[in-house]
Structure 1
Amino acid sequence: MRPDSYVATAPGKVVLGGEYAVLHGAPAIAASVNSRARVSAESIAGDYNELCMPGFIDGVWRFTAKSDGTLVWLDSPPDAGAFALFESVLQSVGGMADAGIRLTLDTRAFIDNASGCKLGLGSSAALSVALTAFLTRQRGPALLPAALAAHKAFQGGAGSGVDIACAVTGGTIAYLCDKAAVEMLDWPEGLQVALLWSGKPAGTTAKINQLNAGLRNSAKRASLATLCAEARALLACWRTGNAAELLVQFDVYSRALYDFDRDQALGIFSAGHADVYAAARECGLVYKPCGAGGGDIGAVMSMDSTALKVFAERVRQHGYIALDTTLGEPGVQLDGLTH
């Protein structure tokens, strides 16, 4: 089957609990979102291929692929490492068998139209999963090992893989990094979550490196241990399906994340997150940064959807914007693939 006959898409994600802790043996909870990376192809004349990446960089770049998966660029990339994710995935899956193909890797759904900034919903992981699915024609749980390997190669081994797992499975998941184990979770009846975008990017890798350096000091490990314990308690509470009790546990977890941030000086609650956290507590709501923090996305939670809408308007003064996002979207899909 020619690759110009089907399309692969995969969702982004939001980490609802277990950030940082997931790298140290605790579970993370993540939900897929309705922003999707899309990989498609069309036939072109020539003995080479072309790459387009709308949402990341404008332009078309010609390349050929060797049998070992390495690429030869016929047009100079805009800068070193510009296409590192694409190259990592191709090398991980063994390259492309076809020539005369224009590949389009589209992540425009992850861009804020007004500012042109990425929203921080896991676009690189979603694209990595969609591209891996496109090239291997796999989907479902069988895709996870290949997608994890490809993205770890891109990140130099960093990261937990929760974003990859969520893009593969969709829905809401619990994820254990050391086993790459995924547990599908039911959404608790009555739990309402609104995502707020800070308007600022976050740097995950730098924060992880800073944390690892800080943990060489044994005095810094207590706050991490507490965070891990609360992440486990959060998952246990989620499994009960009791939304009221879960909100209480989310509040406890968010406080542990706040204390962890102060202890490790990571800036998780910077970029306005601390102000929104305080405002939420004044309103009887639960708020936490999602993922690395220090920008990107936060989640405000309640059982009252009207209260969330009112709060979203209030925090505009902090530069935060409510996203029109739905959670629990389907995982990776291959549309048009007949076998």
Structure 2
Amino acid sequence: MLSFTVSAPGKIILHGEHAVVYGKPALATSLNLRTTIHLSGNDGSIFILCLPSIDINKAWEVTDLELLYSTIQEGNGSIPSSPDTATLSRLRQFTDAEDGNAKDLAIIVFLYLHSQIIGSRGSLAALRVVVGSDLPVGAGLGSSAAYSVSLAAVLLVLAGQIRQIPNSWTREELGLVNSWAFEAERIIHGNPSGVDNAVSTYGGLILYRKGEALKPARGNSLQVVIVNSHVPRSTKRLVEKVKERLDKYPEIIRPMLESMEALVVKALDTMQGFENSDANVCYDILEELIDINQSQLNVLGVGHLSLEHICLLCQQNDFHCKLTGAGGGGCAFVLIRPDASKEKVKTLIKSIEEAGYMSWLTSIGGSGVTLHESMPLSS
């Protein structure tokens, strides 16, 4: 019976958040926290979709899906396409979706990609699709992109558009995955930049600038602790807040944005210079840049008391920390030097978690979307 597993990583922005809105570069990198999708054949005529992390457990008759797909735009798995208004309306009607509901959007994304990649005409196979993830939803770590990328890859393998051979996908095959994932991200976010799905697809380090092609960059894999403040935030409102501050104090904020661009360049040069430099000196620089960038983001008005508390806890344990993403809550990351003892890291994590925050010790800069012969799902 058909059975295989695909996983894709989340992401963090290392430096350049908010400045990127004004044409400055930003650095994003993959996280070794992943979303995993296992696809297998299902006996009988029932199609099952399970996302336990957001409490989705759907079962449809295959004939009902065939009828649904016959009423929406016809797809071609090799040519990524955006859903038209009528298709989205039909999918919302089928799922009884509420506007902006994350669970409903996840189901709509699945149905759209399945209909378009597998085909909206002809017989469908009964399948079981189970999604597991290490990534918290809505925390700015690219959870929706990891879902979109892994789902696109699973369905493209199933359709025979990319090969079912682990560690063999070409740049063209990855490009197809990325393009379909971007269409999924458009359903979820409306007008995404494309950086989240690109990092999740290709992995590693990416330099990006608004309006330009994403540029893969070489850089060492680093160990970090990700800290979730559990404070919800509105990216849209935070972007507006920076704009208001820029309009009010242009002579102060515009040079700050220029400084943030210089910081991104310095961070990238440092990450690419490990092979030819003293590693301790490189880590010293990266730590200083983290502190500077956190201060810059506070000047832009996107800090939060919870994030300052997390940074203080890190300082007290001799570590360096900054927010990642929109700010105003969400997540922060802590750089872990390779010479930091296990006990020292454990003490840091204990102090973070005793303060009521959630943390993950992980690495950055790892592999992108990956086909696995066998891989257990995260709970």
Indicate conservation of the 8 Å contact 2:14/2:27, yes or no: yes
Q: Which of the numbers 299, 304, 310 marks the counterpart of 1:269?
A: 304
Q: Is 1:252 matched with 2:252?
A: no
Secondary structure at the counterpart of residue 324 of structure 1: strand
Secondary structure at the counterpart of residue 100 of structure 1: coil
| Aligned residue number for residue 104 of structure 2 | 83
Aligned ranges 1:94-243 → 2 under 5 Å: 94-97=116-119, 99-111=124-136, 120-137=140-157, 138=162, 140=171, 141-142=174-175, 143-157=177-191, 159-187=192-220, 192-208=223-239, 210-211=240-241, 214=244, 217=247, 219=249, 222-223=252-253, 226-227=256-257, 229-240=259-270, 241=273, 242-243=282-283
Indicate conservation of the 8 Å contact 1:8/1:39, yes or no: yes
Question: What letter matches 1:124 in structure 2?
Answer: S
Secondary structure at the counterpart of residue 55 of structure 1: helix
TM-superposed deviation, 1:257: 0.9
Question: What letter matches 2:118 in structure 1?
Answer: M
| Aligned residue number for residue 300 of structure 1 | 334
Indicate conservation of the 8 Å contact 1:11/1:332, yes or no: yes
TM-superposed deviation, 1:19: 1.6
Q: What do residues 315-339 of structure 1 show as CA deviations (whole Å, max 9, x unaligned)?
A: 34432343132323311013359xx
The 1:216/1:59 distance shift into structure 2, 3 A limit, reads: same
Q: Which has the higher helix share?
A: 2
User: Size of the alignment, in residue pairs?
Assistant: 320
| Aligned residue number for residue 114 of structure 1 | none
The 1:233/1:37 distance shift into structure 2, 3 A limit, reads: same
User: What's the RMSD between the two structures over aligned residues?
Assistant: 3.5
TM-superposed deviation, 1:289: 1.2
TM-score by length of 2: 0.71
TM-superposed deviation, 1:204: 3.1
Indicate conservation of the 8 Å contact 1:52/1:102, yes or no: no
Secondary structure at the counterpart of residue 295 of structure 1: coil
| Aligned residue number for residue 312 of structure 2 | 278
Indicate conservation of the 8 Å contact 2:50/2:56, yes or no: yes
TM-superposed deviation, 1:216: 8.2
The 1:225/1:86 distance shift into structure 2, 3 A limit, reads: farther
Q: What do residues 235-270 of structure 1 show as CA deviations (whole Å, max 9, x unaligned)?
A: 333323333222222222121111112xxxx4x324
The 1:132/1:22 distance shift into structure 2, 3 A limit, reads: farther
The 1:180/1:90 distance shift into structure 2, 3 A limit, reads: farther
Question: What letter matches 2:197 in structure 1?
Answer: I
Partners of 2:262 and 2:186 lie apart in 1 by: 25
Question: What letter matches 2:298 in structure 1?
Answer: Y
Secondary structure at the counterpart of residue 12 of structure 2: strand
Partners of 1:206 and 1:217 lie apart in 2 by: 15
Indicate conservation of the 8 Å contact 1:38/1:107, yes or no: yes
Q: Which of the numbers 309, 314, 329 marks the counterpart of 2:351?
A: 314
* Structure 2 alignment gaps of length 5 or more: 76-86, 163-168, 274-281, 375-379
TM-superposed deviation, 1:225: 5.3
The 1:72/1:101 distance shift into structure 2, 3 A limit, reads: farther
Farther off after superposition, 87-96 or 173-182: 87-96
Q: What do residues 296-325 of structure 1 show as CA deviations (whole Å, max 9, x unaligned)?
A: 321122535235443333334432343132
TM-superposed deviation, 1:123: 1.4
Partners of 1:245 and 1:273 lie apart in 2 by: 22
TM-superposed deviation, 1:294: 3.1
Indicate conservation of the 8 Å contact 1:10/1:127, yes or no: yes
Indicate conservation of the 8 Å contact 2:224/2:361, yes or no: no
Q: Which of the numbers 34, 38, 54 marks the counterpart of 2:36?
A: 38
Partners of 2:26 and 2:246 lie apart in 1 by: 23
Identical residues among aligned pairs (%): 24
Indicate conservation of the 8 Å contact 1:174/1:235, yes or no: no
Indicate conservation of the 8 Å contact 1:45/1:100, yes or no: no
TM-superposed deviation, 1:122: 2.0
Indicate conservation of the 8 Å contact 1:29/1:235, yes or no: no
Indicate conservation of the 8 Å contact 1:33/1:329, yes or no: yes
The 1:225/1:321 distance shift into structure 2, 3 A limit, reads: same
TM-score by length of 1: 0.78
Larger radius of gyration: 2
Partners of 2:285 and 2:227 lie apart in 1 by: 23
The 1:134/1:205 distance shift into structure 2, 3 A limit, reads: farther
The 1:119/1:292 distance shift into structure 2, 3 A limit, reads: closer
Q: Which of the numbers 312, 321, 324 marks the counterpart of 1:287?
A: 321
Question: What letter matches 1:204 in structure 2?
Answer: T
